[in-house]
Amino acid sequence: MRNVALGPRTISDIDGQIEKIIRGLGNPEPPIDLRIVRDLLKLDRQFYSSTDHGFVSEVFSRMKIAGQQVFQRPTLLKEAIAKLSLKALYLPDSRRILLDADVPELKHRWSEAHEIGHSVIPWHEGMMYGDDRVTLAPSCHETMEAEANYAAGRLLFLADRFTEEAMSSPPSITLIRQLSSHYGNTITSTLWRFVEQAEAQRPMVALVTGHPHSSRRKADFDAVNPCRYCVQSPLFRANFGRLTDVDLFGIVSGYSGSQRAGPLGDAEVLLVNDDGQRHLFKFESFFNGYEALTLGVWQQPSPA
């Protein structure tokens, strides 16, 4: 899946909402405490279990996502949760955030910030329950999720503070791991925000995949769709958009070792842009024990 490009007006509107929160908290130091964010916004948080059918049935009975009725019959509930990958929910009428307790705790922070994002984006409220006035098409739902993700990233990384710190050193996996620790967020979410928001001066791309080495790939590896996420910076999307996930994964698998964890390798590679010109990139990959994280950074045009 590739990250969705948001329009400048949408970005400006969301930035304004997040900056208002950060000012309201007195411009805190990282990592931001989501408890005080909830207090400021008068939000409640509650955990649920996706295996607790009684509670979940009550919540999902009114919901539509992507134009589909989520809950129609009790026997379909578990299947619906799995199919829609619902890890967290925001309930506008009660201003409650629900987090799936069955999701690993490490991911709760991102899920909570994502739902806070939904709560502060004004045009999302009428859509949260599939309001009859606004039936969500799949493309609209995808855009809403991208907007909430953008808001979550700006909140968890304290808006422009992260951008300034990220640009103060050369881009690398080592820098991303340092920023991850400093801001209290996962390496994966830090890599995503770094590529999407932190570096506007050069093309960059990030991949989140299974282990790229052929001996470490899982049985369900899909060679046609090898990347869980492909995150493109605005300049990469504008200039190298014709490169496919398969192309990029092939580069990574070409230099990656079979290590169980830690750095997998790096390489300087030539990528051809949409105008047929060759450019030098540096790629490096890291395996955290669950997924491989790759950063590709533009270096210079290649001599003809």
On whether both 150 and 32 belong to a single domain, the answer is yes
* Tally of domains within the chain: 2
Domain assignment present for residue 117? The answer is: yes
Q: Are 28 and 94 found together in one domain? A: yes
* Token reading at 275: 């105008």
The reply to whether 249 and 186 lie within a common domain is: yes
| Residues 186, 76 within the same domain | no
Res 95 pLDDT > 90: no
What mean pLDDT value characterizes the chain?
A: 87
The answer to whether residues 97 and 213 belong to one domain is no
Examine residue 294 and state whether it is found in any structural domain, yes or no. yes
Return the percent helix, strand and coil in the chain, to nearest 5: 45, 20, 35
Full domain range(s) for residue 78: 8-156
Residue indicated by tokens 């999302």: 124
Q: Of 6, 28, 9, 30, which is closest to residue 19 (Cα–Cα)?
A: 28
Please name the amino acid found at residue 255. Y
Length of the chain: 304
Residue type present at position 127: M
In a domain, residue 3? The reply is no
Half-sphere exposure of 270 toward its Cβ, with a 13 Å CA cutoff? 8
SS3 at position 187: helix
Query: What pLDDT is attached to residue 60?
Result: 55
In the block, residue with structure tokens 């950060």: 22
Structure-token pair, residue 66: 């992507």
**110 and 246 fall within a common domain:** no
Q: How many CB atoms lie within 10 A of CB 132?
A: 7
Residue 269, φ and ψ in degrees, nearest 5: -135, 155
CATH classification of the domain holding 95: 1.10.10.2910
Examine the domain organization and report whether 226 and 273 are in the same domain: yes
Domain membership flag for residue 216 = yes
The answer to whether residues 194 and 148 belong to one domain is: no
- Of 156, 182, 210, the residue that ends a domain is 156
pLDDT value at residue 72:
46
HSE, side-chain direction, 13 A CA sphere, residue 118: 26
Give the span between the Cα atoms of 159 and 206, in whole angstroms: 20
Task: For residue range 148-186, list pLDDT tens digits in order.
Answer: 999 999 999 999 999 999 999 999 999 999 999 999 999
Strands (E), 187-257: 204-209, 227-232
Stretch 106-127: mean pLDDT = 89
CA-based max dimension of the chain = 66
pLDDT in tens, 7-47: 999 999 999 999 999 999 999 999 999 999 999 999 999 88
**What pLDDT is recorded for position 133?**
38
Q: Closest by alpha carbon to 32, among 113, 105, 137, 93? A: 113
Q: How far is CA 100 from the centre of its chain?
A: 18
Are residue 69 and residue 175 in the same domain, yes or no? Answer: no
**Residue 255 belongs to domain with CATH number:** 3.30.450
* pLDDT tens sequence across 195-231: 998 767 899 999 999 999 999 999 999 999 999 999 9
| Same domain (yes/no): 286, 202 | yes
Query: Quick check: is 201 in a domain?
Result: yes
